[in-house]
Chains A and B, each alone.
Chain A
């Protein structure tokens, strides 16, 4: 999280600042683990009894891979029972650790999540095959707009400007990239237009929030509505009658030589469109920019304690304006995914609430670019899991499968993340 830890302990002039280390016993993680362990017992053991003797196959390679991994076939019921037992043990171990005032290592959580996932997939795919690379490829692809949106949100909110307008930035990017790419015939100009459109939306946000001191949530919500209205209106009036303004070329998937032949990882990460490759760069740049550069320190200072930043000569509003605009550039670029990366045409309200999920990823990811990316990947995975399970069919009504990722997110937010702390000055205009 933030490097500017607010210490409430009184500090003597000579004493070094020591962060309070007294561990508060929190039963959240054991309770969450316990909940999932009980859920897995119910799903994999009680409901899974009927699957005895069935096999769940995980296909690890695609047909065109050079290195072919054999498909892994797991006996569904045995896997389920094994996973459920291990999960119960992990929950018990974490409860014991908390009881002993010991910190629960992060490995526990990762292991728990992975095991639950394997158990769940095995249970859901009993008697059929799950294409693991396909599942993960789709995850990365579907996460792209979420990640761009979340990165844009992180940039803006770290500088202290609440960005509810991610949806609007994505939609503006999608619209302008489709129009410019179709009109010029050059999809790269479309990408540029998407960035400009996203920047324009965020500039309006910044102007209203910083100069006119309007409540930032209001501006964000209203900007979303405004962009939805404008793009839908222009779509009906201009794009729909003349199709040649709305038929951009879709970026092809490009294989990165060598890297794309690594089993599983290769197809997942290195057989994507240029938008996804830019995304890797964007994640790294935003992380490096925010946490390893002078500029990033200033942005975070302005978002945490603008008065202090002002005292040392940082121009608060200019720093914020630039950060918010950059956030818009990143989000707008993500909007191009919808038109140039996936569909190949603009549709009314085609972002379909993705901006709000990106906002959820920002908060879930505790305003940190990497964590927000992981949160966005989780949502992307959830969306794609629905698609895959929809094809192979699943033992419970599909609606409950569709629901599960969102329920898991609620549990995760309630259990693991807890009270996520926004940058201290987030949403508060700075008046000298």
Chain B
């Protein structure tokens, strides 16, 4: 895999219709075309289409649908009714589990799912920011798991073993976690910069190293293991180091969400306002050109991976100081390191895009559990829908071809491309 292959290409390929001069009459048609064919419309359609595919899957695997399909030709209404019941039931459960529960008695209970969504979104956003930042520098950070584990271990140790006054304790624990993640990511950057070791291999390997290291520490008394216990689990975090609840004990949402907002602002500032961020983007676009322009590419790799690791580490910190404060095991990362890759892709590696994508995926996660409990639809359907959304959003020509949308920019060439795309669609269909 080439170093420069990551989303820079996708970013560069995004339509930029603003540069073309148009006269008055054309401008309106152009604006209309931009709205219907632009990226916002594509995103909406991608979500809609992914939900449709999900609905098809839910319907096909539903028992009642299968029963009624047998006598479809004598009573087609039954089948349609069963399909509707299955799909509507599942999606309304998803919505009620993720955003607003209509069945609740009062507003405060009804809004609880939304806070759950934000709780689930918190680590996803943090890790997504880390992966996205690495993408912007042209690197692929699959090491989220390791970075989260090390950060969780470091933050967790400070949180339960060190006694400090409230407030300071929390900050020190967060800093320890950030440092842990930064070191674990920084190793990757250092090796890539100094020896040219490919970051994909190194991050995968460091995932395993971190996992076994944490497993070892979790069963070593005096390290991470809870005193007087034989389980590979830490003691509960001290209350002075735990993120306070944002809206009282009624909701799970904790102040970690604020750290994630801060992280988003920081990454936005870093990438679009700072000198270092400019170097990051330059290296991401073209490392050779960046080097010629006098940027120290090796240092950029190191700084970028360290910051990326720290951001992913923030996800681990949020897990141990916010979500699971009663002590954690080696499964604390909960697959977030890998989910973060999809979040970063959906957010197109832009800070606020990742923020939105994280909340969307958090909603799917929160709603998915509710759907599984209420309707018996496995939560895995959510994963399918998420993947399809990213896939469709990544391929605007495909979505345009499917919905016969106009292509932004009315030159001849894209029109030809659209025709080509349609042809390909037929080929794929065959």
Contacting pair B345 A410 (CB below 8 A):
no
For residue B390, CB closer than 8 A to chain A, the reply is: yes
For residue B109, CB closer than 8 A to chain A, the reply is: no
> Within the assembled complex, what's the spacing in Å between the Cα atoms of A358 and B383?
23
Q: Interface residue count for A (Cβ, 8 Å)? A: 60
Expressed in whole angstroms, the minimum distance between the Cβ of B312 and any Cβ of chain A is: 16
Dominant SS at the A interface? helix
Expressed in whole angstroms, the minimum distance between the Cβ of A39 and any Cβ of chain B is: 15
Of the stretches B177-185, B289-297, B392-400, the one at the interface is B392-400
What are the residues of chain B within 8 A of A427 when measuring CB–CB? 1-2, 4-5, 9
> Within the assembled complex, what's the spacing in Å between the Cα atoms of A332 and B206?
27
What are the residues of chain B within 8 A of A211 when measuring CB–CB? 420-421, 424, 427-428
Contacting pair A230 B201 (CB below 8 A):
no
Contacting pair B424 A207 (CB below 8 A):
yes
Given contacts A215-B394, A218-B7, A229-B381, contact A413 B57 (CB under 8 A): no
Expressed in whole angstroms, the minimum distance between the Cβ of A323 and any Cβ of chain B is: 16
Contacting pair A399 B197 (CB below 8 A):
no
Given contacts A208-B395, A422-B2, contact A229 B380 (CB under 8 A): yes
Contacting pair A226 B384 (CB below 8 A):
yes
What are the residues of chain A within 8 A of B13 when measuring CB–CB? 213
For residue A96, CB closer than 8 A to chain B, the reply is: no
Contacting pair B7 A228 (CB below 8 A):
no
Given contacts A222-B394, A400-B212, A413-B202, contact A216 B380 (CB under 8 A): no
Interface residues on B, range: 35 or more
Contacting pair A403 B421 (CB below 8 A):
no
For residue A304, CB closer than 8 A to chain B, the reply is: no
Checking A213, A233, A357, A399 against B381 with a beta-carbon cut-off of 8 angstroms, the contacting residue is: A233
Q: Residue of B at shortest CB range from A237?
A: B61
What are the residues of chain B within 8 A of A217 when measuring CB–CB? 1, 5-7, 140
Q: Residue of B at shortest CB range from A357?
A: B204
For residue B386, CB closer than 8 A to chain A, the reply is: yes
> Within the assembled complex, what's the spacing in Å between the Cα atoms of A208 and B424?
10
> Within the assembled complex, what's the spacing in Å between the Cα atoms of A414 and B197?
5
Contacting pair A218 B384 (CB below 8 A):
no
What are the residues of chain A within 8 A of B317 when measuring CB–CB? none
For residue A105, CB closer than 8 A to chain B, the reply is: no
What are the residues of chain A within 8 A of B204 when measuring CB–CB? 353, 356-357, 359-360
What are the residues of chain B within 8 A of A228 when measuring CB–CB? 380, 383
Given contacts A226-B388, A236-B380, A406-B209, contact A426 B1 (CB under 8 A): yes
What are the residues of chain A within 8 A of B391 when measuring CB–CB? 208, 214, 219, 222-223, 226
Which has the most chain B C-beta neighbours within 10 Å: A207, A221, A228? Answer: A221
> Within the assembled complex, what's the spacing in Å between the Cα atoms of A203 and B428?
8
Given contacts A236-B378, A236-B380, A397-B216, contact A407 B1 (CB under 8 A): no
Contacting pair A410 B202 (CB below 8 A):
yes
- Mark interface residues in A252-285 (1 if CB within 8 Å of B CB, else 0): 0000000000000000000000000000000000
Expressed in whole angstroms, the minimum distance between the Cβ of B190 and any Cβ of chain A is: 10
Checking B5, B61, B345, B421 against A426 with a beta-carbon cut-off of 8 angstroms, the contacting residue is: B5
Contacting pair A238 B61 (CB below 8 A):
yes
What are the residues of chain B within 8 A of A235 when measuring CB–CB? 380
Contacting pair A417 B197 (CB below 8 A):
yes
- Mark interface residues in B333-350 (1 if CB within 8 Å of A CB, else 0): 000001001100100000
For residue B213, CB closer than 8 A to chain A, the reply is: yes
Contacting pair A207 B428 (CB below 8 A):
yes
For residue B200, CB closer than 8 A to chain A, the reply is: yes
For residue A28, CB closer than 8 A to chain B, the reply is: yes
Given contacts A208-B391, A229-B387, contact A406 B205 (CB under 8 A): yes
For residue B33, CB closer than 8 A to chain A, the reply is: no
What are the residues of chain A within 8 A of B197 when measuring CB–CB? 410, 413-414, 417-418
Expressed in whole angstroms, the minimum distance between the Cβ of B155 and any Cβ of chain A is: 21
Contacting pair A413 B424 (CB below 8 A):
no
What are the residues of chain B within 8 A of A134 when measuring CB–CB? none
What are the residues of chain A within 8 A of B240 when measuring CB–CB? none
Q: Would you list which residues of chain A between 32 and 79 have a CB under 8 Å from chain B?
A: none
Q: Residue of B at shortest CB range from A231?
A: B380
> Within the assembled complex, what's the spacing in Å between the Cα atoms of A232 and B220?
35
Q: Would you list which residues of chain B between 198 and 228 have a CB under 8 Å from chain A?
A: 198, 200-202, 204-206, 208-209, 212-213, 215-216, 220
For residue B282, CB closer than 8 A to chain A, the reply is: no
Contacting pair B196 A419 (CB below 8 A):
yes
What are the residues of chain A within 8 A of B397 when measuring CB–CB? 212-213
Checking A28, A162, A215, A414 against B7 with a beta-carbon cut-off of 8 angstroms, the contacting residue is: A215
Expressed in whole angstroms, the minimum distance between the Cβ of B257 and any Cβ of chain A is: 25
What are the residues of chain B within 8 A of A112 when measuring CB–CB? none
Expressed in whole angstroms, the minimum distance between the Cβ of B120 and any Cβ of chain A is: 17
Expressed in whole angstroms, the minimum distance between the Cβ of B400 and any Cβ of chain A is: 10
What are the residues of chain B within 8 A of A418 when measuring CB–CB? 195-197
For residue A363, CB closer than 8 A to chain B, the reply is: yes
For residue B82, CB closer than 8 A to chain A, the reply is: no
- Mark interface residues in A307-329 (1 if CB within 8 Å of B CB, else 0): 00000000000000000000000
> Within the assembled complex, what's the spacing in Å between the Cα atoms of A420 and B140?
16
Given contacts A222-B342, A356-B204, A410-B205, contact A399 B215 (CB under 8 A): yes
The contact sample of 22 A-B pairs, CB cut-off 8 A, is: A157-B1, A211-B421, A212-B398, A213-B13, A214-B395, A215-B7, A215-B10, A222-B342, A225-B387, A225-B390, A226-B391, A228-B383, A229-B385, A229-B387, A399-B212, A402-B212, A410-B197, A410-B201, A413-B197, A413-B198, A426-B2, A427-B1
List A residues at the B interface (Cβ < 8 Å). 28, 157, 162, 164, 203-204, 207-208, 211-219, 221-223, 225-226, 228-230, 232-238, 348, 353, 356-357, 359-360, 363-364, 397, 399-400, 402-403, 406-407, 409-410, 413-415, 417-420, 422, 426-428
The list of the 7 closest CB pairs from A to B, nearest first, reads A229-B383, A419-B196, A427-B5, A399-B216, A236-B378, A226-B387, A229-B384
Given contacts A212-B398, A356-B204, 8 further A-B contacts (CB under 8 A): A208-B398, A211-B427, A213-B13, A215-B9, A225-B390, A233-B381, A403-B209, A426-B1
